[in-house]
Amino acid sequence: MPHVQYIVRSSVFSLLLLFLVSACGGPDSREIIQEPYESYAPYNRSEASGQNAAVVSGHPLATRAGQEVLRNGGNAVDAAVTMAAILTVVRPHMNGVGGDAFGIFYDDETGEVTALNGSGRSGELASPDFFDDAGEDDIPTEGALAVTVPGAVSAWHEALQTHGTISLADALQPAIEYASEGFPVTPTLVRDFENVTEELNQAGQDIYMPDGEQLREGEILRNPALAQTLQILADEGPSAMYGGSIGQQIAEFIEEEGGYLRSDDFAAHSVDWVEPLQTDFNGMNVYAFPPNTQAIALPMQLTMTEHIDLENMGHNSVDYLHHLIEIKKLAFADRDRWIADPEFEDVPVDELLDNDYLQNRVNEIRSVAARNVSPGFGDEIAHNVTEGDGDTVYLMAVDEDGNAVSWIQSIFSSFGSKLVEPETGLVLQNRGAGFTLEEGHPNQIEPNKRPFHTLSSSLITDADGNFKAITGTPGGDGQTQFKVQVLHNLFTFDMHPQEAVEAPRFRSFDGLSVALESRIEPAVRMGLRGRNHELDIREGWTPTFGGMQIIMADPESGALRTGADPRREASAIAY
């Protein structure tokens, strides 16, 4: 821990007096300096903690609304859906009514952990031939051909119907008000919009570049069309999107733009309750989402770390970081080979999570970085499409009864397809970019198929099945990487939640490329370069490294302690 000296300066007069006394050299002359001491907290944000309930989300306005729901008697699911709806308004480039959502739920009464897949599918017309007729050799990353059916609204409704206590209309009301009346633009939003809003279609620019100019800090951003859409959903329920007027409007727009979705595809949409993946880690149960998401890479990486003495290596040492980076490559090689929609592909989940298999994978790690890593079994294929920094929002809630929700939603890239439907004000996702035209690829596009997803929600219970923690983050294919690092911060190196969130971390990309935060010591960087890692050192608190969030039950008192990442706009409240 660095030591800091503090010089006491009470006024200009006292400084002058000190100078005169020192200059005179009298027996009482002295330099007034406090003794060095260690900082009270190894992080720059205060930890929010409470005895009853906690909420964390990707924006302060959403977090505050989640707390109000809990204070008014709502439960964790009520708070989560309310926050999720607000985030579609205040973080419009990262998530929306035109996107997808996934949730994991903990029921304190039964100890049951369940998972809800709210991702949409391709349309009935989606096929390689459709793209060939459109003159496309690859799946576009933007435009109408990248749009799949948005599933977020159906996920909100299903979560409330199954576990909530308030109506969808009640949950949407705060979001309607922010869309209608507006909210102040933050410096983070200005930064995120820079060089992106110009890529939007005209309807999008009319909303997010009024008068053709970038939004300014403190300016009020309104989206009346989105407010009207949310009000229709409040009045009519999800049927307005799936078979009703909103879905019809979007389908007609996509058809005009050359996409494959039609109104029948919206009407046919459904969400699915699925069994979450579970793995043992440090004597706890870690739950993650099954395919079609990449979340299986989390238990794979955690299990591999159980076969290495990371604690004795030392936190963020050369050995420690090298092994975590190489473990990520091993897990991602298997992820890229196998993960797809399980309704279309036979995904070998049990084999990928087998302890002996993963121990053998760890034995492949060498003292120098591997440029290319093959899957542990099966033919090698091209990589799945993954995000850059990851335009996603994460949120979590624990209520006074001990119920917990881990929730993630996204439109994939920044502003998704770059298409805003003019009448509804909806930004349409580009999740279809997770498909490929490659023959035989598990994610080759087919009708009514879910694409490969990077969204990764998770939840942790102790050995007895009691709630332990929620950790989550946006960040595309960085999500599982960041979680592995933060979980070891918490449970291997006994960091406080906020400390665990703020500790410097890495992000591994393809090949030898690794982004590293500059707060990692220069000697460690040199050691990693000596092992052939190609480092990109990032200064400051950048969104490249996600936006981690934590709610953790203190093992002694049971108090709820939180962590909220300054790398984005994460905000926590507990009481």
Q: Is the pLDDT of residue 9 over 70?
A: no
pTM value?
0.91
Q: From start to end of 149-283, where are the E strands?
A: 183-184, 220-221, 272-274, 277-281
CA distance 378 to 365: 19
CA distances from 352 to 20, 34, 276, 361 (A): 74, 57, 15, 10
What's the pLDDT score for residue 379?
85
What is the pLDDT confidence band of residue 44, given thresholds at 50, 70 and 90?
confident
83-108 pLDDT, tens digit per residue, is 999 999 999 999 999 999 999 999 99
The average confidence (pLDDT) of the chain is 92
> E strand or H helix at 538, and its extent?
strand 534-538
- For residue 295, give both structure tokens: 């979340």
DSSP string, 474-507: --GGGHHHHHHHHHHHHHTS---HHHHHHS--EE
What is the average per-residue pLDDT within 3-26? 36
Return the C-alpha torsion angle 322, 327, 333, 334, nearest 10.
Answer: 180
Burial tier of 188 (Cβ tally within 10 Å: 0-12, 13-18, 19+):
middle
What is the average per-residue pLDDT within 564-571? 95
What is the pLDDT confidence band of residue 399, given thresholds at 50, 70 and 90?
very high
Lowest-confidence segment of 105-119, 370-384, 533-547 by average pLDDT:
370-384
What's the pLDDT score for residue 42?
59
What is the average per-residue pLDDT within 125-134? 97
What's the pLDDT score for residue 343?
97
What's the pLDDT score for residue 570?
95
What is the average per-residue pLDDT within 9-24? 36
What is the pLDDT confidence band of residue 35, given thresholds at 50, 70 and 90?
very low
Active site residue 562: no
What's the pLDDT score for residue 431?
96
What's the pLDDT score for residue 420?
98
Residues 6+ apart with CB under 8 A from 380: 337, 374
Q: Is the pLDDT of residue 268 over 90?
A: yes
Q: Is the pLDDT of residue 1 over 60?
A: no
What's the pLDDT score for residue 391?
76
What's the pLDDT score for residue 27?
39
What is the average per-residue pLDDT within 538-548? 94
- Among residues 484, 472, 481, 452, which one has the least CA distance to residue 408? 472
What's the pLDDT score for residue 381?
77
Q: Is the pLDDT of residue 308 over 60?
A: yes
What's the pLDDT score for residue 386?
53
What's the pLDDT score for residue 447?
98
Can you list the domains of the chain with their CATH numbers? Answer: 3-38 (no CATH), 49-182+222-275+383-574 (3.60.20.40)
Active-site choice (392, 424, 454, 461): 392
Secondary-structure breakdown of the chain: helix, strand, coil percentages, each rounded to the nearest 5: 40, 20, 45
Share of the chain above pLDDT 70, in %: 91
What is the pLDDT confidence band of residue 45, given thresholds at 50, 70 and 90?
confident
Q: Is the pLDDT of residue 185 over 70?
A: yes
What's the pLDDT score for residue 338?
96
Residues 6+ apart with CB under 8 A from 21: 28, 29
What is the average per-residue pLDDT within 311-321? 98
What is the average per-residue pLDDT within 20-29? 40
In eight-state DSSP terms, residue 108 is T
- Among residues 286, 280, 338, 290, which one has the least CA distance to residue 455? 290
430-479 pLDDT, tens digit per residue, is 999 999 999 999 999 999 999 999 999 999 999 999 999 999 999 999 99
Q: Is the pLDDT of residue 4 over 50?
A: no
Please report, as a single letter, which amino acid is at residue 185: V
**HEC string of 129-159?**
HHHHHCCCCCCCCCCHHHCCCCCHHHHHHHH
What's the pLDDT score for residue 16?
35
Share of the chain above pLDDT 90, in %: 89
CB 323 within 8 A of CB 310: yes
Residue 256: what are its φ and ψ, rounded to 5°?
-60, -30
The overall longest dimension of the chain from CA atoms, in Å, is 93
Let me know how long the chain is: 575
What's the pLDDT score for residue 23?
40
What is the pLDDT confidence band of residue 237, given thresholds at 50, 70 and 90?
very high
What's the pLDDT score for residue 36?
39
Q: Is the pLDDT of residue 345 over 80?
A: yes
358-385 pLDDT, tens digit per residue, is 999 999 999 999 999 999 998 877 665 5
What is the average per-residue pLDDT within 503-510? 97
- Among residues 416, 420, 414, 411, which one has the least CA distance to residue 202? 420
CA distance 550 to 564: 7
Give 278's strand partners: 287
